[in-house]
Amino acid sequence: MIRDKGLHQTENTSHSREPPHTGTLCGIWAVGLGLLIAASAQASSSESQKTAWTTKSQRREWHTLSRDDKLDYINAEKCLMSKPAKLGLPAARTIFDEFQMSHVLNTKVVHGVGAFLPFHRLFIHAHEALLQAECNYTGGQPYWNESLDAGNFSSSIILDPEVGFGGNGTGPLNCIVDGPFKDYVNPIGPGQTFSDHCIDRIISDCASEMAGRQSIDQCMRMQNFSAFGPCLEGMPHVAGHGGIGGQMLNVFSSPGDPIFYLHHAYLDKLWWDWQSQNLTSRLTDIAGPNVPAPFWFPPERNATSSPPPFCNSNWTLPPVGTPNRTILGFPVGWPLPIPATLDKAELLGSDGDPGNETTLGHVLTMYGVVPNRTIAEVMDIRCGLLCYEYI
Ligand SMILES: [Cu+2]
């Protein structure tokens, strides 16, 4: 049931890699979660030190994949969409849905916070691992180099109706009407609501302009994670979500569009590129609050968002300290100064941090999709817990 990293490594320890919480999330999950997190976090710290990888996943740019490679990936994703759910998470019918539900349950503690990039790194790793373990996919998780399509998402080859993800939404519900995923009935979303619906998109070339080199270069110049993290989340991240629109623009339910995984693999690559500029310090550089600023989650986030209302090719991150910083209507950055008090009731599980400052010991809660991990375990992609490279 827990299928994390089974394919790609051999273990020289005898302990079970099955965490104790498999399949127990239904019904009593909220009560038992704290215990479960503690148990699996304990197991994971010794595990990751004692593994020997046999294969490193190669994560390649979608634009460079052959037709067959693209079809292999698409078919593997469709396979995840056809496999029955196993974890007892609310509303999820398939493994694909379980990913989306895990994200919905995490949303308020993994956006606008220090754990944003670490959580999404583990989330994309989980997606790659399950494509491989459940669906015999032999490639790595591809990524979408969005800078190639900045300002022109509507013409991207990623929207190809045959060897891509299908095009823009149409009609009153903005449903996609072509491509391999046009018939998928998604039971989760918009936001935290549950209803059967199509995969919807409202592509905005305007919003996608911010995916260009200007915003990326601006982030890459940042000297520490406390500046880099909000920059990447505020600009390249928002550009991809806003540029595709519809479900992708919903901070809770965006993994209902399979493009999500190529978007976040790309963001993960950008984070690794930044880390690689100075591994000595950046393999351990983490910062940020554990609870987002209140303005991150207004009630309207439960509805599928409209396209951003304005266009501006001269993107600049509002200065640190600006109250309620936004870009394209999206909140940007972290509350400063970080509040000394926090509302633990907002947190869905124990995060392992004693206060509101994100640390390497912070636990990333996966709701059973893969075992919970600490941020420390996902800081390096070079075959500790994670084993992949971007090419
Ligand atoms: Cu997210």
Tell me what pLDDT residue 293 has.
73
254 Cα to the center of ligand 1, angstroms: 7
What region does 329 belong to: left with phi over 0, alpha with psi -120 to 50, or beta? Answer: left
Q: What's the pLDDT band for 311 if we cut at 50, 70, 90?
A: low
Instruction: Specify the pLDDT at position 333.
Output: 53
Tell how far the Cα of 163 is from the centroid of ligand 1, in angstroms: 25
Is residue 219 predicted with pLDDT exceeding 90? yes
103 CA to middle of ligand 1, Å?
A: 6
Q: Does the structure show a pLDDT above 60 at 360?
A: yes
Instruction: Give distance in angstroms: CA of 372 to centre of ligand 1.
Output: 16
Taking only the tens place, the pLDDT of each residue in 181-203 is 999 999 998 888 888 999 999 99
**pLDDT at 235 > cutoff 90:** no
Nearest CA to 193 among 84, 90, 330?
Answer: 90
Nearest CA-CA partner of 120 in 389, 387, 373: 373
Residue 208 to residue 215: CA distance in whole angstroms:
11
Distance 113 CA to ligand 1 centre (A): 11
Percent of the chain scoring above 90 in pLDDT: 57
Fold of 9-390: di-copper center containing domain from catechol oxidase (1.10.1280)
Q: Is-cis flag, bond preceding 337, omega within 30?
A: yes
pLDDT digits (tens, 9 = 90+) for 45-56: 444 444 556 789
pLDDT at 43: 41
Using pLDDT thresholds of 50, 70 and 90, give the confidence band for residue 325: low
Mean pLDDT over each residue of the chain, to the nearest integer = 80
> Does residue 153 register a pLDDT over 90?
yes
* Distance of CA 104 from the midpoint of ligand 1 (Å): 8
Q: Which residue has the higher pLDDT, 209 or 180?
A: 180
- Residue 14 alpha carbon to ligand 1 centre in Å: 35
CA distance 149 to 322: 30
**pLDDT class for 27, splitting at 50, 70, 90?**
very low
**Residues 112, 352: contact at Cβ < 8 Å?**
no
d(CA 235, CA 244): 14
> Could you read off the pLDDT of 279-298 as tens digits, one per residue?
999 999 999 988 877 666 66
